[in-house]
Amino acid sequence: MVEKLKVGTLISGGGTNLQAIIDACNQGRIDAEIVFTGSDVDGVKGLDRAKKAGIDTFVVDYARIIADCREIQDIDSLLPKDFDLDVILEKQRLVDVEKNREKALSFIKSRVIAERRLLDHIESYDMDLLVLAGFMRVLTPYFIDRINAGALEHRIMNIHPALLPAFPGIDGYGDTFRYGCKIGGCTVHFVDYGEDTGPIIGQKAFEIGDDDTLEDVKEKGLQKEWELYPACIQKFAQSR
Ligand code: GRF
């Protein structure tokens, strides 16, 4: 029997991709099992989906942490001991530090403080792959380096609602639709130090008709996502 790939998942919302992965695992369509589901928002439907499937869950309340960071005088006192600002600044491609250094630093530091809490949960599990299933937060090199096995060994996957490298950012389907594209799609890629820039693992496309609304585009896109994500996880499982 093949040893199952141990997959950790992070979500922020409804969790339909999570559900597609749960179903693919349960039906034996992929050689994987989900070992936890973490969320940056409490009370989301995706957490209920995980609990219903008997998966461990946890929440790291990003909004609360970011608000606390804004209020505290000495944000550095909250940073993890192994945080090295120079290393992070050299690697990160998320914010323009030259443009507004103070704003960029507080962005990075608050995210690292939240990421340390995520890692405290994640490190208690035996995990081969971390899957971002609608997790709406960027990840800094602090987090990425502590998950990836080595500099070139990617262990974090993300799904993006557009055919990358077109339309990175938070509203892939919206941007595709407003641009007037006749083809839309979704992309599964590894996470690197930029936003939606890592190596592409798989893509699926669909046609956008002249009468399609944004809602139609989102619906067509999600249907493709639910096929694509399990397939990419299986590709990773088979490449081990
Ligand atoms: C998906 O469209 C995904 O591409 C994007 O966020 C959405 C999450 O949907 N990153 P769900 O929570 O999996 O239903």
Looking at the chain, the whole-number percentage of residues with pLDDT higher than 70 is: 99
Q: Check whether 12 has a pLDDT greater than 90.
A: yes
Q: Give residue 219 CA to ligand 1 midpoint distance, Å.
A: 11
Measured CA to CA, the distance from residue 131 to residue 172 in angstroms comes to 19
Q: Which of 121, 154, 160, 189 is catalytic?
A: 160
Sheet containing strand 57-59, strands side by side:
57-59, 32-39, 5-11, 129-132, 156-160, 183-190, 200-207
Q: Which atom of ligand 1 is nearest to the CA of 133?
A: 13
Q: Give residue 223 CA to ligand 1 midpoint distance, Å.
A: 11
DSSP string, 46-108: HHHHHHHTT--EEE--HHHHHHHHHH-S-GGGGS-TT--HHHHHHH--SS-TTT-HHHHHHHH
pLDDT at residue 108 in the model: 97
Pocket test for ligand 1, best of 22, 47, 159, 218 (most atoms within 8 A of CB): 159
Q: How confident is the model at residue 2 (pLDDT cuts 50, 70, 90)?
A: confident
Pocket test for ligand 1, best of 23, 160, 222, 226 (most atoms within 8 A of CB): 222
Strand 57-59 and strand 129-132: the pairing is: unpaired
Q: Give residue 10 CA to ligand 1 midpoint distance, Å.
A: 11
Q: Check whether 98 has a pLDDT greater than 80.
A: yes
Structure tokens, 225: 């996502």
This prediction's pTM: 0.96
121 catalytic per annotation: no
Chain-centre distance for alpha carbon 20: 16
Write down the H helix ranges in the chain.
16-26, 45-52, 62-71, 85-91, 101-122, 141-147, 172-179, 214-238
pLDDT digits (tens, 9 = 90+) for 33-83: 999 999 999 999 999 999 999 999 999 999 999 999 999 989 999 999 999
Q: Check whether 152 has a pLDDT greater than 80.
A: no
Pocket around ligand 1: residues whose beta carbon is below 6 Å from it?
11, 13-17, 46, 133-134, 159-161, 186, 222, 225
Nearest CA to ligand 1 atom 12: 15
Q: How confident is the model at residue 150 (pLDDT cuts 50, 70, 90)?
A: confident
Structure tokens, 229: 């994500």
